[in-house]
Amino acid sequence: MFIQTEETPDPQRLRFLPGREVLPEGTLNLKSREQAAQSPLAQQLFAIPGVAGVLLNKDSIIVTRSDSDWQHLKPAILGAIMEHYMSGAPVLRAPPGAASGSVASGGEDETAITGTIREALRRVIDPELGYNIVDLGLIYDVTVDDGGVTVVTMTTTTPGCPATNYLKSGAGEAASSVEGVEFVDVRLTYEPRWSPDMMTPEAKAHLGISGGGGW
């Protein structure tokens, strides 16, 4: 089993990618050993000295450290994740919606904050097209859980776009600027592939694209 690691904008958090599904949907933000009781995987991670938080989502595990350094923590975390998956134990003992720290259910507060985040994301301009990433249709989804953990799912106009890192970083910084957002996870996807039809009428007009979406 090969587990990849990725840095996050917050040096206190590190993303672990086990190469298989973690949660079927949503996110689960666990901030204490008590909350971790619902997840055998999280329990193993919280048993490691220096682990202060565990965020589970569809395909990754984001671990928050306390005062330890990653050089010493990473091997123990990698070992715990591998041991869990090799054991065949479930990630959760109960559905995420039944537990504290789970994904928000999509109420009015979440709608308001996701709208504010989308407005903040309009400050991020695609350097190639000279227009904001929201109206270009590059933002596919924005979700916020009840702990302020935000997931921004986005794409680029083409795979391998040279501005990919710039756009991801900009999206993370813009979303982080919104009050109530505690942590931002920017995920890149190419499913579905972007096309000019995804742009708003304003973006099409700015770029001189006809209503049919052709360049």
| C-alpha span between 78 and 110 (Å, rounded) | 33
The per-residue pLDDT for 154 is 95
The per-residue pLDDT for 112 is 81
**Residue labelled with tokens 């666990």:** 30
The per-residue pLDDT for 98 is 44
Q: Which residues make Cβ contacts (< 8 Å) with residue 132, sequence separation at least 6?
A: 121, 122, 123, 124, 125, 126, 203
The per-residue pLDDT for 211 is 56
Residue 49 structure tokens? 């000295």
Q: What is the per-residue DSSP string for 147-188?
A: TSEEEEEE--SSTT-TTHHHHHHHHHHHHHTSTT--EEEEEE
Dihedral (C-alpha) 183, 6, 190, 163: value to the nearest 10 degrees? 90
Partners of residue 70 on adjacent β-strands: none
| Count of beta carbons in the 10 Å neighbourhood of residue 32 | 14
The per-residue pLDDT for 165 is 92
Topology at the third CATH level for domain 4-98:
Ribosomal Protein S8; Chain: A, domain 1 (3.30.1370)
Tens digit of pLDDT per residue, the chain (215 long)? 789 999 887 889 999 999 988 988 778 888 888 888 889 999 999 999 999 999 998 889 999 999 888 999 999 999 999 999 999 888 988 554 444 444 444 444 557 888 999 999 999 999 999 999 999 999 999 988 767 888 899 999 999 899 999 999 999 999 999 998 888 889 899 999 999 999 999 999 989 886 554 55
What residue spans in the chain does CATH classification 3.30.1370.70 cover? 4-98
The correct CATH number of 108-207 out of 1.10.1040.10, 3.40.50.720, 3.30.300.130, 3.40.50.1240 is 3.30.300.130
The per-residue pLDDT for 99 is 42
The per-residue pLDDT for 15 is 92
What residue spans in the chain does CATH classification 3.30.300.130 cover? 108-207
The per-residue pLDDT for 96 is 47
- Under 8 Å between Cβ of 122 and 200: no
- Which amino acid is present at 123? R
The per-residue pLDDT for 172 is 92
Residue 54 structure tokens? 């565990």
The per-residue pLDDT for 83 is 94
